[in-house]
């Protein structure tokens, strides 16, 4: 995950899901996102929602009938926030474990 990148840089301003080429806004994709876009028929953002633990495969069909592009972007933003908070918690836990280990080693 690229948590440091601004959400708007990642998702906004890229046009609709079907047409993501906007020359004014450069695409910022990871290597895997590029591979997904090149090799598979769905947009990589839909794959991200469908495979995320907060999303689900059932959302693929819903993306075409129930949800708007704004809904997709909102879901992606929520997932990014969740992932960032989760990673932050893991980092804190790891740091605390290393600190405890270092303190016990000194004794």
Triad 93, 10, 3: Cα angle to 5°: 10
Count of domains in the chain? 1
Give the tens place of pLDDT for each residue, 40-63.
787 778 888 998 999 998 888 888
Q: And the tokens for 3?
A: 């948590």
Is residue 29 in a domain? yes
Residue 79 lies inside a defined structural domain of this protein = yes
Domain membership flag for residue 73? yes
From CA 102, how far away is CA 107, in angstroms rounded? 9
Q: What is the pTM of this model?
A: 0.60
Could you tell me if residue 45 is inside a domain?
A: yes
- Specify if 2 maps to a domain: no
Q: Can you give the residue range of the structural domain that contains 45?
A: 7-106
1 within some domain: no
Q: What is the pLDDT of residues 73-95, one digit of tens each?
A: 999 999 999 999 999 999 999 99
Q: Which two tokens stand for residue 1?
A: 């995950």
């Amino acid at each position: 995950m690229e948590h440091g990148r601004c959400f708007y840089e990642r998702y906004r301003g890229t046009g609709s899901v079907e047409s993501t080429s906007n020359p004014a806004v450069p695409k910022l994709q990871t290597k895997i996102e590029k591979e997904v876009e090149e090799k598979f028929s769905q947009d990589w953002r839909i794959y991200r929602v469908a495979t995320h633990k907060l999303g689900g495969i059932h959302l693929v069909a819903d993306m075409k009938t129930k949800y708007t592009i704004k809904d997709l972007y909102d879901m992606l933003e929520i997932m990014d926030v969740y992932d960032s908070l989760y990673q932050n918690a893991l980092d804190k836990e790891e740091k605390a474990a290393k600190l405890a280990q270092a303190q016990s080693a000194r004794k």
